[in-house]
Structure 1
Amino acid sequence: MTGPAPTRRSGRWIERWDPEDEAFWQATGERIARRNLWFSVLSEHIGFSVWTLWSVLVLFMGPEYGLTPADKFLLTSVVTLVGAVVRVPYTFAVAVFGGRNWTIISASLLLIPTVAAFVVMEPGTSYSTFLLVGLLAGIGGGNFASSMTNINAFFPLRKKGWALGLNAGGGNIGVPVIQLVALAIIGASGGPRVLLGIYIPLIVVAAVLAALFMDNLSSVKNDTGAAKDAARDAHTWIMSVLYIGTFGSFIGYSFAFGQVLTNGFGRTPLQAAYLTFIGPLLGSLIRPLGGWLADRYGGARITLWNYVGMAAATAVLIVASMQKSLPLFVSAFVVLFVLSGLGNGSTFKMIPGIFQAKALAKGLEGEAAVAHGRRLSGASMGLIGAVGALGGVGINLAFRQSFLSYGSGTGAFVAFLAYYGVCFAVTWAVYLRRTAARVPATAAAPEAQAQLSYVEV
């Protein structure tokens, strides 16, 4: 096999795609996969920017808007919630419409919340209107799920950690980019509509480029049975718990960091904007490294020690919050962002490896094992991505309650520390503990053998 089969449908459809075939991959597969990756990253990047738009817009909303800190935390929680929920249908949309076609559609849909925000963003607008427009912005969170599902199909198993990490990291970086743009606008005494006016034409550009340069894969089909099997598999929900700890932290802190600085440390919006972009930027850039390390050393190992680091950074944040030490607080928060990005890459790399191990444990070999693993991992990614994003809702609600109850974010950080401890324990118990060592070699069950192989996922 030296290249994809000729298309039989209009709209850039590829009928035959086998990235596990080394000859195919070297001849044409890698070039096509990389081209789709870059334009997928662009669309997802802008999707993330639109999703986190309101974390920036609330910095523009001074006393004249009449919103309390609790109102703003609730607003960002609603945006995060919608972004998490729409990830499920976005995952299945790739197979229904095609990866290229859905990228065009999903990018174009970003015009709705952006234009709506442009219209309503002024003092005197009711809080309920802001909540409604915030709900619309949540669709930007869905682009991640469809993009990851699409790119997962383009790359071979041995390259998935790098490819998915780069795809997700390039998308995640949309968070600090919009924060940097907002910083420049606030510094120049510009208003929120200037920010929105910049992004409206960028959305159009992303949709046009997807139409010109991306491809659809006929081999990507929705498998209702796979979705049901993935939902019934305990590992889907275990990985969801772990992804709450990594991606939920990243997106939740991205929404909340600026508000914590303004409400907890008395920073002005401009002073907060100078600091908020640093953590999301570094966390986004390091995500591909997390995937690469997982490819090399095993995602479970990297994830386990990553949670140790996240717990330590959170403990420092508690001390800094209690002592009102801004330099220590910002430094520890940036470290926490970096570790959340690293963990995003390692946890997502674990997913295809886990289902591949389960396929081998069932006695499947070669292409049959690869197909089985790809089938279930693709179906589970949408669920895991959606549940993981719900962690961002929890973080914003926890901060809201902590500020209402204690006047600071300390109470929320204590809860986050406890959660990271749970994630560490789950990772060790499920994916690293050598339970098979207690089973005689002659009587080792397939599932026990699979337990050992999870160390390498």
Structure 2
Amino acid sequence: MTTVRSNSGRRIQDWDPEDETFWERGGKHIARRNLVLSVFSEHIGFSVWSIWSVLVLYLSPEIGLGFGPGEKFLLVVTPTLVGAALRLPYSYAVTRFGGRNWTVFSSVILLVPTLLALYFVQRPGTPLWVFMAIGATAGVGGGTFASSMTNIAGFFPQRHQGWALGLNAGGGNLGVAVVQLVGLLVIATAGSTHPSYVAAVYLPLIVLASLLAALGMDNIEANRAEPGILRQAAANRHTWWISLLYVGTFGSFIGYGFAFGLVLQHQFGSTPLEAAGYTFLGPLLGSLSRPAGGWMADRWGGARVTFWNFLAMAAGAGVLLVASSRNSFPLFVAGFTVLFVLSGIGNGSTYKMIPAVLAGEAEAAVTAGHDATSAFARARRLSGAVIGIAGAVGALGGVAVNLAFRAAYGGAGGTGEPAFVGFLGFYALCVAATRIVYLRRERPRAGAAGGARRTAQAGRTTEATRV
């Protein structure tokens, strides 16, 4: 392993986590240090991205900022959409500028939406378009997920990627819960007329995340992208199947996380304090369950865990329909909380499918006579591109969730039942896709995988993992 310093920052060459000797002699310590700092930076990014899910609860005539339900849902749609659009270029940026360098930049830029929110959110009479523009700048926080996941995937051997990616994503996702908890504490202590305090809490944390990334993270040569790697990923059919599944898992998590407080306000007439008191719990449990989803996928296979998880999510959407029809607040909150947990598990298991599926394709290439080292090296590089595409498409699911709620609650006396029916139908589609595309192909692959696996191990590349 060679470490060099240049104007572009610290870069490690000859990074080979699949070599167990290299891994045990120091590689795992470097990888884990970068993982911890990546989690912190991504966590702050998620908090800034979802900060408007909290700030909209404050927007009332009491502070001179009264907006209707449709306008408030539009405010939370805006950062979701921008964050989704930025995920693909953020994922590519890691391969172009290096994980450490891009993490520093993506952390520093979070100061822009935070300072704008701090300045404008308590100015009476501010028009909706100004808040939408500020919300759009908060979308940069959503891009940090794709760059962080692409970066961390390169640090860990495939046998540990389910755990590492799950922990990285789960720690980042916690930002949704934490910013809502900060909002709850502000409302409980200072009242519902000081939304700027929420933004102020994050200014020093953004500075700290930037400094820690600059001082403690590394760039690795393994994350350098091959020319045309995004085109190769886009041409791979699994990219789009996994993106569809990720719409159902991450799209649900981020869409519900942004909208839950508003849903409680408009479905049950909750006050800002009451809404904030419940909104943080679901994202918290959903974030904590994501590493569990990755671990379960490592143990039982990502497709199998994802299949059963979508069945459970369809049942959860059915619970919301019942709760809404009966106007049962406890059942409604319980159903949403369960859906948050299941979305977290599905996030971890679906992302684990990416390196596993590509490793399976590499096995097939080795069996056909291709060089094992180059086949599995290409699979690792392709994984980063697929992660970027799936992350971008999946985040668009959050936009769809919020637009569905906006349509459902837009009219006088509207309820969320039409939206819940749509969610149930989409989860059923994901169940069918997982069953047909992945579970049916598991057993035929198993026998052929053994020879390729032994060849790959002999070339010190990677061990195969079940889809």
Q: What is the CA deviation profile of residues 86-119 of structure 1, one whole-angstrom value per residue up to 9, with x for unaligned ones?
A: 0011001112211111101000000000001111
For residues 426 and 273 of structure 1, what CA distance do their matches in structure 2 show? Answer: 36
Q: How far 1:372 moved relative to its partner?
A: 2.2
What SS is found at the alignment partner of 2:4? coil
RMSD: 1.9
Q: What is the CA deviation profile of residues 220-253 of structure 1, one whole-angstrom value per residue up to 9, with x for unaligned ones?
A: 2122322111101111011110000000000000
Q: How far 1:66 moved relative to its partner?
A: 2.3
2:209 is matched with 206
Matches within 5 A, 1:33-44: 33-44=31-42
1:97 is matched with 97
Matches within 5 A, 1:425-444: 425-434=432-441
Q: Give, as a single letter, the amino acid of the residue that structure 2 aligns with 1:350.
A: M
| Match of residue 297, structure 2, among 272, 283, 294 | 294
| Match of residue 415, structure 1, among 422, 428, 443 | 422
Matches within 5 A, 1:239-250: 239-250=242-253
| Match of residue 193, structure 1, among 173, 193, 196 | 196
What SS is found at the alignment partner of 1:343? helix
Percentage of identical aligned residues: 56
What SS is found at the alignment partner of 1:65? coil
Matches within 5 A, 1:219-368: 219-363=222-366, 364=370, 366-368=372-374
Is the counterpart of residue 383 in structure 1 residue 389 in structure 2? yes
1:84 is matched with 84
What SS is found at the alignment partner of 1:13? strand
1:449 is matched with none
- Is this contact kept in 2: 1:301–1:455, CA < 8 A? no
1:163 is matched with 164
What SS is found at the alignment partner of 1:456? coil
What SS is found at the alignment partner of 2:16? coil
What SS is found at the alignment partner of 1:416? helix
Q: Give, as a single letter, the amino acid of the residue that structure 1 aligns with 2:202.
A: Y
What SS is found at the alignment partner of 2:222? coil
Gap regions ≥5 residues in structure 1:
447-452
Q: How far 1:434 moved relative to its partner?
A: 4.5
2:110 is matched with 110
1:450 is matched with none
1:137 is matched with 138
For residues 436 and 144 of structure 1, what CA distance do their matches in structure 2 show? Answer: 33
| Match of residue 5, structure 1, among 2, 11, 19 | 2
For residues 436 and 196 of structure 1, what CA distance do their matches in structure 2 show? Answer: 51
2:404 is matched with 398
- Is this contact kept in 2: 1:431–1:454, CA < 8 A? no
| Match of residue 374, structure 1, among 349, 373, 380 | 380
Q: Give, as a single letter, the amino acid of the residue that structure 1 aligns with 2:420.
A: F
Q: What is the CA deviation profile of residues 272-311 of structure 1, one whole-angstrom value per residue up to 9, with x for unaligned ones?
A: 1110000000000110010011011100000000001100
Aligned residues: 443
Of 203-212 and 61-70, the range deviating more from structure 2: 61-70
Q: How far 1:218 moved relative to its partner?
A: 2.3
Distance 1:223 1:76, change over 3 A: same
For residues 379 and 429 of structure 2, what CA distance do their matches in structure 1 show? Answer: 27
For residues 13 and 393 of structure 2, what CA distance do their matches in structure 1 show? Answer: 32
- Is this contact kept in 2: 1:300–1:454, CA < 8 A? no
What SS is found at the alignment partner of 1:222? coil
Q: How far 1:368 moved relative to its partner?
A: 2.8
2:45 is matched with 47
Q: Give, as a single letter, the amino acid of the residue that structure 1 aligns with 2:116.
A: A
Distance 1:455 1:7, change over 3 A: closer
2:456 is matched with none
TM-score of the superposed pair, with normalisation by structure 2: 0.92
2:150 is matched with 149
Q: Give, as a single letter, the amino acid of the residue that structure 1 aligns with 2:176.
A: V
For residues 389 and 342 of structure 2, what CA distance do their matches in structure 1 show? Answer: 23
For residues 359 and 366 of structure 1, what CA distance do their matches in structure 2 show? Answer: 8
Q: How far 1:201 moved relative to its partner?
A: 1.0
Is the counterpart of residue 62 in structure 1 residue 60 in structure 2? yes
Q: How far 1:435 moved relative to its partner?
A: 8.9
What SS is found at the alignment partner of 1:14? strand
- Is this contact kept in 2: 1:105–1:207, CA < 8 A? yes
- Is this contact kept in 1: 2:314–2:427, CA < 8 A? yes
Q: Give, as a single letter, the amino acid of the residue that structure 2 aligns with 1:213.
A: G
TM-score of the superposed pair, with normalisation by structure 1: 0.94
2:459 is matched with none
Gap regions ≥5 residues in structure 2:
453-462
Q: How far 1:433 moved relative to its partner?
A: 1.4
- Is this contact kept in 2: 1:300–1:455, CA < 8 A? no
- Is this contact kept in 1: 2:356–2:465, CA < 8 A? no
Is the counterpart of residue 181 in structure 1 residue 182 in structure 2? yes
For residues 227 and 283 of structure 1, what CA distance do their matches in structure 2 show? Answer: 30
What SS is found at the alignment partner of 1:44? helix
Q: Give, as a single letter, the amino acid of the residue that structure 1 aligns with 2:11.
A: W
For residues 125 and 224 of structure 1, what CA distance do their matches in structure 2 show? Answer: 46
- Is this contact kept in 2: 1:354–1:454, CA < 8 A? no
Q: What is the CA deviation profile of residues 146-167 of structure 1, one whole-angstrom value per residue up to 9, with x for unaligned ones?
A: 0000000000000000000000
